[in-house]
Structure 1
Amino acid sequence: MTDRIPLAGVIGSPIAHSRSPVMHMHWLATLGLAGHYIPMDVAQQDLERVLQTLPRMGFVGVNVTVPHKETVLQFADQVTDRAGLIGAANTLTFRAGGGIVADNTDGYGFIENLRRGAPNWDAAAGPAVVVGAGGASRAVVASLIEAGVPEIMVSNRTRIRAERLREDLGRRVRVVDWSQVRNVLGDAGLLVNTTSLGMTGNPPLRLSLDGLRPDAVVTDLVYAPLRTELLQVAEARGCVTVDGLGMLLYQGVPGFERWFGQRPTVDEATRRAVLG
């Protein structure tokens, strides 16, 4: 009897746009490992049944995306501290003896991408301004707190979401009115867009960078297009800019290693494969 080929995948709805399958299949091929990574469009009402069924089919884990990141926590047998703090999971591992471990590697992916794209960025040098207060923002803010950023100013079009984030993540978070973001940029060492504004097909992020310091670092979680208008304007001011593709790549590393037993390398070949 031969061993089962390990299976992994990504669940969400919609899911056809996901670049995760290309990334994981590239790593499997590069490392010469047996395995498959499959995109699965899963409706909310089917989520629990799907999570019960996948391990029986040979799945060792899955990534989770919109709209299931928060909901999957209620079906997990173990939730890591960081997933619990953020209130969402993007990586599930199915234990061999049964049970689901829920983790969130988005913050890890964000910080790794930031440090490699802006190696001179100093977390302690000054405040960070984070635009948006959704699930991605929570992961980013938690990772910035862990990295030692002294103050994180969060602004969201719906202020109550930013206030909830502050309540959950603590005293280093300060809420800034959406209309006042441009007025706090002068102190910022880092500006992060965690919204979908600026993404292909979405409205632009309308934010004047006139007050931003030229030595600030600017990063955008949007990676389609790779060079968003925010990054182009920041670059023209002399800022170091970091695109959002690296966050996608680095957040996938821990899950791949758990599921397939080897740690993949994020390199230029990986970026080319994902960009197609």
Structure 2
Amino acid sequence: MTVVAGVAGQPIAHSLSPLIHRAWIASAGLAADYRAFGPADEAGFEALVNEGRTGALRGLNVTAPFKAAALGMADEVSETARSCGSANLLVFENGRARADSTDGEGLMAALAEQAPGLAVAGRPVLILGAGGAARAAAAALKAAGAEAGVLNRTPARAEALAADLGVHVAGPAALPEAALVVNALSVAPEIEVGRLRPDAVLMDMTYRPLLTPFLAAGRARGLTTVDGLAMLIGQARPSFEALFGVEPPEIDVRALALAALGETS
């Protein structure tokens, strides 16, 4: 019997998750498949979750705009997902849906891979944005011991995030001190890269394009940069294990993803 899992979002055609998970499935020799699901709206997503509860699906990775809905529809919620206020993973078992978030793990894995010299414990870090991605970043960085601050154009949203997660609201004055700046916005942030310290690390949570204008500006200054593809693969690893019960094989899925993106590095 083929185990079926997948990723749900809207739009979904651009997702690299099926490519990554199918490569691991093939390498591990599993009788499994990983598909892309594009519910038109929240009602469609709820119908997909209910289908999962029947046993038709082993689980789902969840991307925008359904992460908050995934949390609300779950029968069980991990502490990580609760603190993030959203879930990127639903696992179905015995008619129940268990919600988790692996985004924070993905962020920390990306930093370890592409900025191995960065130590965040006890140091100021700045997160740009106040949505679900920013919440996952704030939760992970706080857990790692960082002094996490949130900078957002709408102060009320930053204040709500800070209150929920026990981090602080930051202003533009925090830029020169930040050891790490994470862009959790879906657009290029309006910050002056020239104000950053010379050893600051920049991370962008999006991977289309791989070298975003934010990261390009950092590289032009000689700063270490961390891309969103590293985070995507980093969050996919624990998701794969949760969905299929085995660790992902050690194959170069980044090279496959880069080829799909038309990138070379």
Please state which band the TM-score falls in when normalised by the shorter chain.
over 0.9
SS at match of 2:194: coil
In structure 2, the partner of 1:174 is: 168
In structure 1, what is the Cα distance between the partners aligned to 2:121 and 2:106? 20
Larger CA deviation: 98-107 vs 227-236: 227-236
Structure 1 110/206 Cα, relative in aligned 2: closer, same or farther at 3 Å? same
Q: 1:76 aligns with which of 51, 74, 77?
A: 74
Give the number of aligned pairs: 258
Question: Equivalent residue for 1:35?
Answer: 32
SS at 1:49 equivalent = helix
Kept after mapping to 2: 8 A contact 1:5/1:34: yes
Distance 1:53 1:165 in 2: 32
CA distance in 1, matches of 2:245, 2:121: 35
Mark the runs of 5 or more structure 2 residues left unpaired by the alignment.
261-265
Q: List gaps (5 residues or longer) in structure 1.
A: 199-204
Residue 270 (structure 1) aligns with = 253
Task: Give the residue type in structure 1 aligned to 2:230.
Answer: G
Contact 2:53 2:96 in 1 (8 A): no
In the alignment, is the contact (CA less than 8 A) between 1:8 and 1:259 conserved in 2?
yes
2:116 to 114, 119, 126: 119
Structure 1: which 4+ aligned runs deviate by more than 4 Å? none
Aligned: 1:130 with 2:127:
yes
Contact kept, 8 Å, 2:125 with 2:179, in 1: the verdict is: yes
- 1:80-109, Cα deviation, whole Å (9 max, x unpaired): 0010111100001011x2211100110110
AA aligned to 1:220 is D
Contact 1:90 1:106 in 2 (8 A): yes
Q: Distance in 1 between matches of 2:78 and 2:8?
A: 20
For residues 118 and 266 of structure 1, do their structure 2 counterparts lie closer, same or farther at Cα, with a shift above 3 Å needed? farther
Give 3-state SS (helix, strand or coil) of 2:58's partner.
strand
CA deviation after TM superposition for structure 1 residue 210, in Å: 1.6
- 8 A contact 2:81–2:100 mirrored in 1: yes
Aligned 8 A contact 1:249 1:266 in 2:
no
- Which deviates further from its counterpart, 249-258 or 83-92? 249-258
C-alpha separation between the residues in 2 aligned to 1:235 and 1:208? 13
User: How many angstroms does 1:115 deviate by?
Assistant: 1.2
Q: Structure 1 vs Structure 2: percent identity of aligned residues?
A: 42
TM-score (norm 2): 0.92
Q: Aligned equivalents of 1:158 and 1:13: distance in 2?
A: 25
Deviation (angstroms), 1:265? 4.5
1:212-266, Cα deviation, whole Å (9 max, x unpaired): 1111111111211111122122122222111110111111111211222211146
8 Å Cα contact 2:181-2:200 kept in structure 1: yes
Instruction: Give 3-state SS (helix, strand or coil) of 1:210's partner.
Output: helix
Instruction: With the length of structure 1 as denominator, give the TM-score of the two structures.
Output: 0.89
Matching of residue 190 in structure 1 with residue 167 in structure 2: no
**Cα separation, partners in 2 of 1:85 and 1:196, compared to 1, 3 Å:** same
| 1:55 to 1:273, Cα distance in 2 relative to 1, 3 A | farther
Correspondent of 2:237 among 249, 253, 268: 253
Query: Could you say what secondary structure the match of 1:70 adopts?
Result: helix
For residues 10 and 213 of structure 2, the distance between their equivalents in structure 1, rounded to whole angstroms, comes to: 27
- 1:17 maps to which residue? 14
Partner residue in 1 for 2:101: 104
Quick one: distance in 2 between partners of 1:265 and 1:250?
A: 13
CA distance in 1 between counterparts of 2:214 and 2:71 reads 33
